[in-house]
Structure 1
Amino acid sequence: MLFGSSAALAGSASPVPADSTRIIRLSSLEWPPYTGASLPRQGAITAVIAAALASMGYRLEVQYFPWTRATALIKHNSPFAGYYPEYFSAGLAREFLISDPIGSGPLGFAYHAAAPVQWGSMADLSTYRIGVVEGYVNTDEFDTRVRQGKQMVDAAVNDKQNLRKLAARRVPLVLIDRRVYDHLIRNDADLRPLAPTLRFHPRLLEDKQLYICFRPNAEGARVRAIVNEGLKRIDIEAVLAAALSAGGAN
């Protein structure tokens, strides 16, 4: 039995058949404003995928899990063709079939207002223990430095836990998407009171493209082809912007 929240989303394009063979099932996590069962259109990135599938006559169904479970389900017997959203890495490309980009997000660092950190290169960060989320891909350079022991990290189960650690000054920096940071600070009841103590560094690490990872088999290849063709038929940035606006983000 699968545990998590689930929902279906048809998108805003032409009517989608109710035929169960025209349903694409994906796993994801609660990562507002990009994904989430309670968000308008289930989040901005979900809206992009739903619109792409609707343009091809398919309907999207998403089930939400903690991140490590959302990704692990694709490696085992489950009803999901893939998971999202994911940053690209060479390692993932060897494990999964990767979609065309489904949007992007500004990845950077949050810091404590009482202890700002200035940096110009990754080497400048080597003396800091940086909060990351367990199982997340970050940037190639950052993750390589972590593997090589050149960058200290402190892993949390999610972004919210990392921001609480930052507010308590248990870590000096947290690696996080700027839109995710903004959404959590504005909307999470536990984090709102901490907002005056936290800041997002103006220097971005990277504007990261987001992708779907599909099973590395014939079914994964079939669904990837459907999604990729659908992405060509829609204005990804327009759908993303509209969904972000509907959710109060930018």
Structure 2
Amino acid sequence: MYRIITVDLDGTLLSPQNKITKYTKKIIKLLLSKGLYVVFASGRHHIDMMYIRDSLNIKIFMITSNGAKIYGLDNQLIFENDLNIDIASNLIYLTHLDSDIITQVYQNDHWYINNSKIKNNFCPSLSLLQYQYFHPDTFNFSKISKIFFTSNNFKKLFNLEKHIIDSLDKKVHASFSSPGCLEVISGKTSKGFGLKIISNNLGISLKECITFGNGMNDYDMLKISGKACIMENSDLRLKNILPHAEVIGNNKDDSVAVFLNKMFII
């Protein structure tokens, strides 16, 4: 039986309104009461993830910013790894002048952007943080956990992903959380790496982990888990590279909670 339950947030556990429903909250609390471990794994900033966790009044592990920061049951930071300063600088200058792309940065407790055009897939309502504008010529590139690029020009983002991978290879981990959002973190970490740390911390095999996701940034944690479940609304590329993963339904229908209820509770 599975003892670690790892779930992505946006497009997976959260509703289309970016909320955890009452039903899902109830199921999570029942699972924890049975002695199971729950891990929230997301590209979201650690402050936003802490707010979601605290609103449920639960103790869980958290993989934040796709693995750049990992938190334990008592909110202790158990791992962090930032982008190399020179790499961060190069990435930011790549798109700074491109009016079709917003370059966004998570640095410590702050969120920086270089433009706020709604047409560039900008979604400020998804974060509690107040964004600040920045210019690379006057910016300090240290302590950057994640750089992400948003746009409705998907072709540009796909080309940008290819360029980053070709030029930086394993120095970074680049992946899409959704077709309009390309996220880049240090090559030394990822959601999958975070899950390995938590598994080792608990002394529980990855074979005893069931994982849920919907985006390409979920791929490596899904691949290493004992059971992988992906959403009906998942990125088509994720479905194609994980043909044996179980497709469980849409996030609009509380599909993760329904699945877990049937597996562990009923």
- Give yes or no for TM over 0.5: no
- If the length of structure 2 is used for normalisation, what is the TM-score? 0.33
- If the length of structure 1 is used for normalisation, what is the TM-score? 0.34
Q: Which has the higher helix share?
A: 2
